A and B are shown apart, each in its own frame.
Chain A
Amino acid sequence: MFTREEALAEAIKCSGCGFCLSVCPVYEAVGIETLSSRGRVDTLRGVLLGQLELSERMMQILDTCLLCRACEEVCPPGVKLHRVLMEGRAKAVRQRGLPWAKRLAFRRLLKDRRYLSRALGYLRPLLKEDRGIPGSKIRHLPSLFSGLAGGRGLPPIASRPLRARVGPVTAPVGNPRGRVGFFSGCYMEFVETGMGDATVGVLSQEGFEVFYPREQTCCGAPALYSGDVEDALEIALKNARAFLSQKLDSVIVGCATCFDCLKKGYSSLSSFLQGEEKEMLEEFSSMVEESSSFLVKKGLSRRRRLSSPNLVTYHDPCHLSRGGAIAREPRELLASIEGLELKEMSQPRRCCGGGGSFGLAHPEISIEIGRWKVQDIQATGAKIAVTSCPGCILQIQEVARREGAEIKAVHLMELLHGAL
């Protein structure tokens, strides 16, 4: 999180040149400058300087940013929009409080897997795929309870959560190379548990003992990105404790958003803490590694090949390529698979429009942005889009279905796991 001074220091850097307008996906979808990267920095600067208020319109401005950070990459003076925006959202929570539904979700469900698991258990029979818009699902499960599902259907909940399928410790195959923790994230935990199986599986195939602590909970991104610092802090500390009780080399994450939250989010949250708690959060955050980047650093010990040759394309999740500067590593892993050909799309780094609960709150904008991504994937001729974020996978699958495009989105770890 960022202080008012840090946010203002960013905002006043903006010269108004408009270079960011060339890459802001929301601006391209809506064609209104107020809801563009430049418009956001500008109006938020107005709020920070006391020239504008936190009005309803301002809440829309805060709410309609995907936080994809594409603008930051092309900004000549180097404005970090996410800093300004996060302070804006935090200020809104301080002044206006959280909506009741978000409050319920963040205060109870995010903090304890048992509550969330039980609540999902009750809901499961109701969450058939044909509810709402056919074939559409939502991301960020806790948002399910925050009344945000507007227009989009809800995801089918796995009959058994990941923890019922993967034990607290998974032994390495072959020569042991180290001991790592596995952070599952809500989506791998409760919905697409296969991605969780695959991530743990690949780590084990590669000789790592995988420790999967049951006390971990949601990464806290929904609270953090909504500006709810208080709840995000509590969640962060809970996760840090869950992993630091063991001796581990690293903590591996397979979800780009969870990774961004644990790595960047927690380290900025630690500035709100002192003493032991601050040290603990910083230590935990420094141990966090994204799955593909971790594997490239360690080097793959086993050869992998596809049973039949296949053409794939790779989509860069914003939270990896811009948040964590991880773009080369997934491609290296793909290149190491025999029989696989990677064909790049024209703009692999362009946001898919998923953006966490953005897809729920603004389905029209989200789907419009998703359409460009699906068309870009189609133009490569590949039928498989590989990526490293369950949120992007969900979005690409859903938009592809709506568009009638024969595209499957898969997690990189699933591909690696299946190719041995």
Chain B
Amino acid sequence: MKRSLIKEFRKIVGEKRCLWTPEDLYAYSHDCYARGNPELVLIVKSSEEVSSILRIANREGIPVTPRGAGTSLCGATTPIRGGIVLATNQMNRILEVSHEDRLAVVEPGVVTLRLHQAVESVGLFYPPDPASSAMSLIGGNVATNAGGPRCLKYGVTRDYLMALEVVLADGEILRTGSRAVKDVTGYDLTRLMCGSEGTLGVITRITVRLIPKPECKKTILTSFKTVEEASQMVSMIIGAGILPTTLEFMDHAYIRTVEDLMHLGLPVEAGAMLLIEVDGFREAVERQAKMIESFCRERGALGVQVGMTQEESDQLWAGRRMGTVALMRSAKLMISHDATVPASKIPDMVAHTHRIAREADLKVVIIGHAGDGNMHPIFLLDPSREGEMDRFRKASEELFQFTVRCGGTLSGEHGIGIEKNPFLRLQVDEVGVRTMKAIKAALDPKGILNPGKFV
């Protein structure tokens, strides 16, 4: 990048927030998936700064990759075409929490967990809870439409957006939506921006809808001989009119591997484990938990444990939370997919994933959010084994083909980024691609925003 341009950018953000030493570029070159080669890092503090930066970048055709906490699992925030990394983490004010209107207005750099704490302290609730919520930023959550375990009952980030402020590629500031819960005025630009992975604009202000905080919750851990039995259990629970907050699934391979590593006393003979959570008013939660417990016993569950207190609930979660950590430590490389299928296809999906892995000589364990069909096949890889990464790529493609075939999707919550970009066309047909390209061309004609992603 020309020095005169760097000077121009530095004038906008000041010396301290304009970084270009090799070390700074290195630290901002990657997310959890891949590394790029940025030429300049700009840390922004206001929509006006973002607007001024984009005006110049657009004039000069310089790529701009917006960045939250850099926790993407698919390379969504990797600056693969160089240019500017636009870091939003210092735009971190919670501007308003309105009890009456049940909404919060925040800047994109607010850590999701901080938003949770702020609204819960006044009896409100913001449900989306991606596994990264302790460090990921709400702006990144919106840009990737983040999910999490609570989505079965409460939905994903998209379902809580009311309004956005977005700086477009040419520096114009777009305001979408309103503070009204019902709003059908014009195209739904709010939801167009959500999940666009920074390819259509830079999100600078977010208004989220809040709901009352549930009074209490209960956790149930149960296991079954086969995946089919566990799957029938899921249908039975929902069929009885219970919508659990969380319905986490763990397969036999996961249970065995984690038990070998951690000796938690998990039922190694089980084909599948289910971790179920219900929340709401105390009386309702107790009744639902009792119903689930009796369903499990009726259906010949291998074991049922109910957590009454937070402490007991944490213990029941241990196998799920600490298990993935143990896997990460045991494997040279761990890659988790998030292919998602309709709930009825879960047994097929599990069986098929294991078949693909066996044929490709790869190690895989499966967990997932069973209620919404969002499965996480976790591949435990050793890149030093000959051909392992090639076999993994091929297996991934087969897996994606399968999920699309049964009416599912490549990605339920991690996003497309650069990881799944080559597979986009498995799911999106010619018309779909053309439509996406038309949207991109209309909003970012020079293609400066997070180039190389999507279409």
Candidates B90, B92, B113, B135; contact of A18 at CB < 8 Å: B135
Q: A18-B70, A19-B134, A22-B111 are in contact. Are A52 and B89 (CB under 8 A)?
A: no
Q: Is the CB–CB distance between A76 and B328 below 8 Å? A: yes
Cα-based distance from A43 to B324 in the complex (angstroms)? 26
Candidates B21, B24, B31, B334; contact of A16 at CB < 8 Å: B31
**Contacts of B265 on A, CB cut-off 8 Å?**
none
**Contacts of B43 on A, CB cut-off 8 Å?**
31-32
Tell yes or no: B325 within 8 A of A by CB: yes
**Contacts of A22 on B, CB cut-off 8 Å?**
111, 113, 134-135
Tell yes or no: B27 within 8 A of A by CB: yes
Q: How far in angstroms is the closest Cβ of chain A from B126?
A: 17
Q: How far in angstroms is the closest Cβ of chain B from A221?
A: 26
Q: A18-B71, A19-B135, A21-B69 are in contact. Are A39 and B27 (CB under 8 A)?
A: yes
Candidates B135, B329, B334; contact of A78 at CB < 8 Å: B329
Which residues of A (2-41) have their CB < 8 Å from a CB of B? 15-22, 31-34, 36, 38-39
Candidates B27, B134, B328; contact of A34 at CB < 8 Å: B27
Q: A31-B90, A55-B22 are in contact. Are A42 and B30 (CB under 8 A)?
A: yes
Candidates A19, A34, A43; contact of B19 at CB < 8 Å: A34
Cα-based distance from A40 to B132 in the complex (angstroms)? 20
Tell yes or no: B9 within 8 A of A by CB: no
Candidates A15, A17, A52, A74; contact of B22 at CB < 8 Å: A52
Against B, the Cβ 8 Å flags (1 = close, 0 = not) of A258-294 are 0000000000000000000000000000000000000
B114 (CB) vs chain A CBs: closest residue? A22
Candidates B23, B28, B69, B90; contact of A61 at CB < 8 Å: B23
**Contacts of B69 on A, CB cut-off 8 Å?**
18, 21
Q: Is the CB–CB distance between B26 and A43 below 8 Å? A: yes
Q: How far in angstroms is the closest Cβ of chain A from B388?
A: 17
Q: A22-B134, A22-B135, A34-B23 are in contact. Are A16 and B329 (CB under 8 A)?
A: no
Interface centre among A16, A36, A61, A78, by most chain B C-beta atoms within 10 angstroms, is A16
Cα-based distance from A33 to B135 in the complex (angstroms)? 12
**Contacts of A32 on B, CB cut-off 8 Å?**
19, 24, 43
Q: How far in angstroms is the closest Cβ of chain A from B27?
A: 4
Q: Is the CB–CB distance between B135 and A34 below 8 Å? A: no
Cα-based distance from A38 to B30 in the complex (angstroms)? 11
**Contacts of B135 on A, CB cut-off 8 Å?**
18-22
28 A-B pairs within 8 Å (CB atoms) are namely A15-B328, A16-B31, A16-B32, A16-B33, A17-B32, A17-B71, A17-B132, A18-B32, A18-B69, A18-B70, A18-B132, A19-B132, A20-B135, A22-B134, A31-B92, A32-B19, A32-B43, A33-B27, A34-B23, A34-B27, A43-B23, A43-B26, A46-B23, A55-B22, A58-B23, A74-B134, A76-B325, A78-B329
- Counting from the closest, the 5 A-B pairs by CB-CB distance are A39-B27, A22-B134, A22-B135, A34-B27, A57-B21
